[in-house]
Amino acid sequence: MTRRVAERSWRAATASCEPAWTTKIQYPRGSFGMATENSRLILTRRPEPGRLADCFDFQRSRLEEPGPGEVLLQTLWISVEPYMVLAASGALAARPREARTRMQSLMVRYAAGVEIGEAMPGPAVCRVIKSRHPGFGEGEIVTSYSGWQSLALDDGSLLRKIPAGPVPLPAFLGVLGIPGLTGYAGMKVIGAPRGDDMVVVSAAMGAVGAVAADVARQAGAPTVGITSTERKRLQMVEELGFTFGADRKAEDFSDQLKQACPRGVDVYFENVGGMVWWTVFPLLRAFARIPVSGTLTNYMPGAGEGERDRVPELMKQVVPRRLRIQGFAVFDYPELEDEFTEVIGDRIASGAFTYVEDRYEGLGSTPQALQDIVDGKTSGKVVIHLAD
């Protein structure tokens, strides 16, 4: 069956978050003189419960020419990810640790979070527009960790070249990027589905969930994706290859899951926690495996406050049902990165794996995009387009 490589929904930035001067910035290749003007989105305050989008503001700065060993990057695409809520909230502030590999360095950067007055760091796809680094030439396209800004000076240590090919560039921030590797490693190593296992994935349209489900599908297992809205649940089955889609916001969500999994659930790939977790929980079978990549319902400040403690309810079941609940970080699996890139890259290029992207336009739309993720208003991997 031929499938579209990507279903795309485009969003125009709203007037309120897109100052006129931030509209798409196109820098001619090789035209850089002395200092260059950069647009950045800086964190102005820590978010309060429910509010994110108004915690950022634009700042212009001037970047000097790259020094020896440095490159100047132009941002083409920015990735917006749930962990950025934790970063903005100040919940990530790990002290720097020694890093010997690119993955370890990336982990250190993720864990460091963001301070007030700094631009939000994060994954991006960039073009090298000036290079004094022996490993990178002008015009090359790379993934970086340069964050929410139009330009960046970079020492090259976290850059990864993107080879020319049929895969669209934003995929390298999602299903072929760190989120995709998270889904791949978590499902392959911890979920380890076999052909007759029933697999359920939450946030299944996002990049982590989409790849986790694809790994299970490749193992021959039926996959149930959890999403929101009737439209997305149908899209999952009709276009994305899921056996069943469940709408977490529907009144009969629990019945939908029971109907989809009459024998119970063998593997539950957890991305969200909260009410979704407690709805899947009674369906977990003996020896179920539960890779936990994150629980985004707990990321916003104030989440869970005032709720009753349900830990005893969970712990009572762990032994009788032999549940294997394992949290993990993508950085635990650097050895899988090349295999993942080849396997999922081939599946995207051949049209065998379909995924969904939610594309926003312009740097100014980035805070609202993050707010929309938290509010469950997005469909699929969220990326911001800045330049071609």
Ligand X SMILES: NC(=O)c1ccc[n+]([C@@H]2O[C@H](COP(=O)([O-])OP(=O)(O)OC[C@H]3O[C@@H](n4cnc5c(N)ncnc54)[C@H](OP(=O)(O)O)[C@@H]3O)[C@@H](O)[C@H]2O)c1
Binding-site ranges for ligand X (CB under 6 A): 81-83, 178-179, 182, 203, 205-209, 227-228, 232, 248, 271-272, 274, 276, 293-294, 296-297, 328-330, 373, 376, 378, 381-382
For residues 194 and 231, which CB has a smaller minimum distance to ligand X in the complex?
Answer: 231
For residues 206 and 367, which CB has a smaller minimum distance to ligand X in the complex?
Answer: 206
Task: Indicate the residue whose CB is closest to ligand X.
Answer: 206
Torsion of CA 367, 371, 373, 374, to 10 degrees: 140
Give min distance, CB of 354 to ligand X, in A: 15
Give min distance, CB of 156 to ligand X, in A: 23
- The answer to whether 149 and 73 are in contact (CB under 8 A) is no
For residues 218 and 298, which CB has a smaller minimum distance to ligand X in the complex?
Answer: 298
Give min distance, CB of 299 to ligand X, in A: 7
Residue type, 363: L
List of residues 6+ apart from 275 with CB closer than 8 A:
248, 297
For residues 78 and 208, which CB has a smaller minimum distance to ligand X in the complex?
Answer: 208
Which residue from 37, 354, 363, 86 is spatially nearest to 204, judged by alpha carbons?
354
For residues 130 and 248, which CB has a smaller minimum distance to ligand X in the complex?
Answer: 248
Q: Which two tokens stand for residue 383?
A: 């990326």
Q: Kindly report the number of other CB atoms within 10 A of residue 238's CB atom.
A: 10
Residue labelled with tokens 């930035």 = 13
For residues 208 and 343, which CB has a smaller minimum distance to ligand X in the complex?
Answer: 208
Give min distance, CB of 163 to ligand X, in A: 23
Give min distance, CB of 235 to ligand X, in A: 10
- The answer to whether 175 and 353 are in contact (CB under 8 A) is yes
Which residue from 5, 9, 4 is spatially nearest to 361, judged by alpha carbons?
9
Give min distance, CB of 287 to ligand X, in A: 23
Q: Which two tokens stand for residue 314?
A: 């969970």
